[in-house]
Amino acid sequence: SYVRTIDGVTIGVWHILPSKLLSNTTSETQTDSSELLGNGEPIFVYMHGNSGNRGTSHRLELYRLLQRNDFHIVTFDYRSYGDSSPVEPSETGLVNDSRHVYDWVKLKAGHSPIFFWGHSLGSGVASHLLDILEEDKEEI
């Protein structure tokens, strides 16, 4: 699926279901599983590093591990990565992309706990986003 930012950038997003929910869905390839984010299982919003995209093989292994442990994973490509809009990246842009994805997850999550997992570049993006959320007095 895709999330559109306020500055018109389209962000490619995957929602990977926890293993225990796979048998409860009508199809593993269901295009909109976002309503399941509020089922109470923890959600990891994963922010990848500089190389590759959300589908790079070592990331897929991490997603499988988290999935087997019954976590939701929401992972996405920043602007100019993967299938997101080919817009010049900047720190502000990447953080804004992450904020839009987080806002989308929070809207769907209900009372499910949300965690950030940043790898390499993504750890800086996640830290910056958390700082902004704290400044905005967002309940995380």
| 96-121 pLDDT tens trace | 999 999 999 999 999 999 999 999 99
| Beta-bridge partner residues of 11 | 3
Q: Which amino acid would we find at residue 124?
A: G
Q: How far apart are the first and last CA of the chain?
A: 24
- Global confidence as pTM: 0.90
Under 8 Å between Cβ of 67 and 19 = yes
Reference 52, options 88, 81, 13, 86; nearest CA is 81
Domain assignments of the chain as residue spans, ordered by start? 2-135
Question: In CATH terms, is domain 2-135 a member of 3.40.50.1820?
Answer: yes
Collapsing DSSP to helix, strand or coil, 31 comes out as coil
Under 8 Å between Cβ of 59 and 117 = no
